[in-house]
């Protein structure tokens, strides 16, 4: 007959050990070599006895079963270790197997089949008893170790966990997993102290108070490892047997991050307020009583509002508001909102002692004493007029940029339109001449060539306008002014213009001795733009009248048309301003800018229905 297999029992509850030892001994199928009450004793017993099997409790004070298991396996590798616990599996069995356990039995299983189960495990089988089953009737000690709170545990809104007496997680709910940023599998078998980072030592004190000191509930607040923004308040409560001995620990964890941040901000706010009141010069900081009368005054308030403390303390703070806001009882309304919401903030106009106005950022905070009784308001006012002006300047700049962008888009559209005409004429005329030269009569060919010449002139004028505009904008226009005899210069220009427009009549009149000081080429460009504009938008004859007025000479251009429409007159000289007959909108703008670049100007005289180009008289130049 072979020897009976040996076993060591380790459980911190003496009555449980006694019950197990008795049942196993009565079976005469296993021999109990020793008993222990914690993980340290388990290691010593297996080292000394080298038993075939170790029945090891999970939750024990000091060193628990999971913590001792690796050392047990190292001390006696041949010993088959069976973890024994009142906890639900929920990953605990898997964790035990990872650490070297052969099986996991629940204390809620039947003691009648205990020996059979142990022998099956020793033979390398997994018995059905590893599954949860009802507690055997008549085993009140085992029933006492059943999991409590099973129905509410999983769905609780706060984090919950059961811990061994050494602080190791044996079961956790989904809320705790979310709070700690770990999965349930990661939590089971882990020391809760690992989740507390540098605050892990605080758990040791808590465990001592609960296990050794007999405390019924202990709290500790701690950040979560790897999640410093999350702060938990952990409440640890022991679950005790009938003799008041702790069986395991129940932990509840609540996220108190927001409360801590609020408390920190409150402390910072109080400190900041004290510093501001004591030292700041750029803020008006003062207290109001519950009705809005000024109760305190600081140097920043005197500097900002102009009142000394003896002049203002005791008066109602509505004195700082413009009359229209006083009449609408806006100051009183601010206090109503501050009392309702504990805080009020706005920007608006305020009035100094001397009556001048400034744009202010205002904050009103309700002040209460320790009992919650309303005792007044703290008011902070800052002069932000410069910021308002900067914002207005930025808005104006944005409007200007948008206008420039719109003008540019319009200009591109107009330029494309203006280019399309002469380019199309050139292309079609050249193609016609190339394909049908021999079929065309000489006068027809001449007409096509003249049309191409006119289109080329039109393109050249457009390109010249674009180049001039670009140089004017970049202030890089090369000007070489010299004395110019007006009549002689304009007569040549008129003759050239009439060749391009045979039906046009251009007359040069006025002071025949008028002499201006200007760049000849730019004068030609400016007058050419004025005359072309008159022929395009007006009617012949076009008259240019020269008149000398002291230090300047006016060149007045008038055509036989009805003049410029009133709605167009204000923007005649703007860039990209175009009328109903098209054009790039650059001609008149160039005229004015060329005149100004040479010390003159350009305008439209609505009474005379004439454009006036004014340039310096040569006789007044040094």
Band of residue 1 on the pLDDT scale cut at 50, 70, 90: very low
Per-residue pLDDT reduced to its tens digit, 46-89: 999 999 999 999 888 888 888 899 999 999 999 999 988 876 66
Band of residue 538 on the pLDDT scale cut at 50, 70, 90: confident
Beta pairing, strands 482-485 & 506-510: unpaired
CA dihedral sign of residues 107, 112, 118, 123: negative
Higher pLDDT, 215 or 70: 70
Q: 150-255: what fold?
A: Beta-Lactamase (3.30.450)
Beta pairing, strands 343-351 & 218-224: unpaired
What's the rounded Cα separation, in Å, for the pair 622 and 616? 12
* Angle in degrees, CA 103, 106, 75, rounded to 5: 40
Domain boundary assignment for the chain: 6-143, 150-255, 272-383, 389-472, 478-620
Q: Residues with Cβ < 8 Å from 146, sequence gap 6 or more? A: 86, 107, 108, 135
Q: Can you name the residues that pair with 32 across neighbouring β-strands?
A: 7
* pLDDT reported for residue 135: 42
Q: Can you name the residues that pair with 163 across neighbouring β-strands?
A: 169, 249
Query: Mean pLDDT over residues 582-600, rounded?
Result: 80
3-state secondary structure of 259: helix
Do 5 and 121 contact (CB within 8 A), yes or no?
Answer: no
Band of residue 246 on the pLDDT scale cut at 50, 70, 90: confident
| Helices and strands in the chain, H and E counts | 20, 21
Higher pLDDT, 495 or 461: 495
Band of residue 409 on the pLDDT scale cut at 50, 70, 90: low
Q: Can you name the residues that pair with 85 across neighbouring β-strands?
A: 106
Tokens for 47, please give them.
């080292």
Backbone torsion region of residue 50, taken as left when φ is above 0, otherwise alpha when ψ lies between -120 and 50, otherwise beta: left
Alpha helices in 367-485 (DSSP H): 385-436, 442-474
For residue 541, cis peptide bond before it (omega within 30 degrees of 0): yes
Per-residue pLDDT reduced to its tens digit, 286-321: 899 999 999 988 888 888 888 998 999 999 999 999
Q: Is the pLDDT of residue 136 over 50?
A: no
Do 588 and 605 contact (CB within 8 A), yes or no?
Answer: no
321-326 contacts at long range (C-beta below 8 A, 24 or more positions apart): 321/350, 321/351, 322/349, 322/350, 322/351, 322/357, 325/349
Tokens for 111, please give them.
């003691």
Q: Is the pLDDT of residue 509 over 70?
A: yes
Q: Is the pLDDT of residue 150 over 70?
A: no
* Angle in degrees, CA 503, 508, 513, rounded to 5: 165
- Report CA-CA distances (Å) from 112 to 26, 35, 307: 11, 21, 93
* pLDDT reported for residue 580: 47
Query: Mean pLDDT over residues 571-593, rounded?
Result: 70
150-255 matches 6-143 in CATH topology: no
- Pick the closest to residue 375 from 291, 275, 313 (CA basis): 291
Band of residue 401 on the pLDDT scale cut at 50, 70, 90: confident
Q: Residues with Cβ < 8 Å from 526, sequence gap 6 or more? A: 590, 591, 594, 595, 602, 613
* pLDDT reported for residue 10: 93
Letter string b/e over residues 256-292, b meaning 16 or more CB atoms within 10 A of that residue's CB: ebeeeeeeeeeeeeeeeeeebbeebeebbbbbbbeeb
Q: Is the pLDDT of residue 137 over 50?
A: no
What's the rounded Cα separation, in Å, for the pair 360 and 398? 24
* pLDDT reported for residue 77: 93
Q: 478-620: what fold?
A: Heat Shock Protein 90 (3.30.565)
What's the rounded Cα separation, in Å, for the pair 254 and 468? 75
Q: What rounded mean pLDDT belongs to the chain?
A: 83
Q: What is the CATH number of domain 389-472?
A: 1.10.287.130
* pLDDT reported for residue 589: 84
Per-residue pLDDT reduced to its tens digit, 173-205: 889 999 999 998 888 888 888 888 888 887 778
Query: Mean pLDDT over residues 427-436, rounded?
Result: 86
Per-residue pLDDT reduced to its tens digit, 260-279: 888 888 788 767 766 655 55
Query: Mean pLDDT over residues 213-242, rounded?
Result: 85
Tokens for 241, please give them.
């047997």
> Residue 497 — φ and ψ, nearest 5°?
-65, -35
* pLDDT reported for residue 330: 94
In CATH, what class is 272-383?
alpha beta
Task: Find the radius of gyration of the CA atoms of the chain.
Answer: 50
* pLDDT reported for residue 132: 40
What's the rounded Cα separation, in Å, for the pair 565 and 559? 14
Lowest mean pLDDT segment, chosen from 86-90, 393-397, 594-598: 86-90
pTM beyond 0.85, yes or no: no
> Residue 227 — φ and ψ, nearest 5°?
-135, 65
Q: Is the pLDDT of residue 229 over 80?
A: yes
Q: Is the pLDDT of residue 342 over 80?
A: yes
Q: Is the pLDDT of residue 124 over 70?
A: yes
Query: Mean pLDDT over residues 205-219, rounded?
Result: 79
Q: What is the CATH number of domain 6-143?
A: 3.40.50.2300
């Amino acid at each position: 007959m072979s020897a009976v297999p040996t076993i060591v029992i380790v459980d911190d509850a003496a009555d449980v050990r006694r019950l197990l030892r008795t049942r196993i001994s009565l079976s005469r199928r296993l021999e109990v070599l020793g008993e222990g009450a914690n993980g340290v004793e388990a290691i010593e017993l297996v080292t000394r006895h080298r038993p075939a099997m170790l029945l090891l409790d999970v939750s024990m004070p000091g060193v628990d079963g999971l913590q001792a298991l690796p050392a047990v396996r190292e001390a006696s590798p041949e010993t088959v270790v069976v973890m024994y616990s009142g906890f639900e599996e929920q990953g605990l069995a898997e964790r035990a197997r990872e650490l070297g356990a052969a099986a996991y039995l629940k204390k809620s299983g039947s003691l009648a089949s205990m020996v059979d189960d142990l022998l099956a495990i020793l033979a390398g089988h997994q018995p059905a008893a590893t599954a949860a089953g009802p507690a055997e009737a008549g085993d009140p000690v085992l029933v006492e170790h059943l999991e409590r709170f099973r129905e509410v545990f999983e769905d609780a809104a706060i984090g919950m966990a059961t811990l061994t007496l050494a602080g190791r997680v044996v079961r956790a709910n989904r809320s705790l997993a979310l709070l700690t940023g770990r999965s349930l599998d990661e939590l089971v078998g882990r020391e809760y102290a690992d989740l507390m980072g540098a605050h892990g030592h605080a758990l040791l004190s808590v465990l001592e108070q609960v296990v050794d000191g007999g405390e019924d509930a202990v709290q500790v607040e701690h950040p979560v490892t790897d999640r410093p923004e999350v702060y938990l308040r952990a409440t640890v409560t022991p679950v005790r047997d009938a003799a008041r001995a702790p069986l395991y620990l129940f932990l509840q964890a609540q996220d108190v991050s927001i409360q801590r941040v609020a408390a920190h901000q409150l402390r910072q706010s109080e400190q900041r307020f004290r510093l501001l009141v004591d030292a700041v010069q750029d803020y008006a900081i003062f207290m109001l009583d519950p009705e809005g009368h000024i109760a305190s005054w600081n140097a920043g308030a005197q500097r900002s509002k102009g009142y000394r403390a003896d002049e203002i303390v005791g008066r109602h703070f509505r004195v700082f508001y413009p009359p229209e806001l006083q009449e609408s009882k806006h100051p009183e309304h601010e206090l109503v909102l501050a009392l309702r919401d504990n805080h009020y903030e706005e920007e608006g106009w305020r009035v100094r002692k001397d009556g001048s106005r400034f744009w202010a950022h205002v904050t009103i905070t309700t002040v209460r004493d320790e009992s919650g009784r309303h005792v007044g308001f703290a008011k902070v006012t800052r002069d932000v007029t410069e910021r308002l002006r900067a914002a207005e300047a930025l808005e104006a700049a944005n409007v200007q940029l948008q206008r420039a962008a719109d003008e540019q888009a319009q200009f591109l559209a107009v330029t494309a339109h203006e280019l399309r005409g002469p380019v199309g004429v050139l292309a079609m005329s050249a193609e016609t001449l190339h394909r049908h030269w021999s079929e065309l009569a000489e006068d027809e060919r001449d007409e096509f060539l003249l049309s191409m010449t006119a289109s080329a002139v039109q393109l050249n004028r457009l390109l010249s306008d674009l180049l001039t505009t670009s140089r004017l904008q970049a202030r890089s226009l090369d000007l070489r002014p010299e004395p110019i005899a007006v009549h002689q210069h304009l007569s040549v220009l008129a003759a050239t213009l009439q060749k391009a427009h045979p039906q046009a009549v251009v007359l040069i009149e006025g002071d025949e001795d008028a002499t201006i000081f200007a760049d000849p080429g730019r004068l030609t460009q400016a007058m050419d733009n004025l005359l072309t504009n008159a022929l395009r938008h007006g009617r012949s004859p076009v008259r240019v009248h020269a008149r000398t007025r002291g230090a300047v000479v006016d060149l007045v251009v008038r055509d036989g048309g009805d003049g410029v429409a009133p709605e167009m007159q204000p923007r005649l000289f703007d860039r990209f301003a175009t009328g109903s007959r098209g054009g790039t909108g650059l001609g008149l703008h160039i005229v004015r800018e060329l005149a100004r670049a040479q010390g003159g100007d350009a305008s439209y005289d609505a009474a005379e229905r004439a454009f006036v180009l004014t340039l310096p008289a040569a006789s007044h130049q040094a």
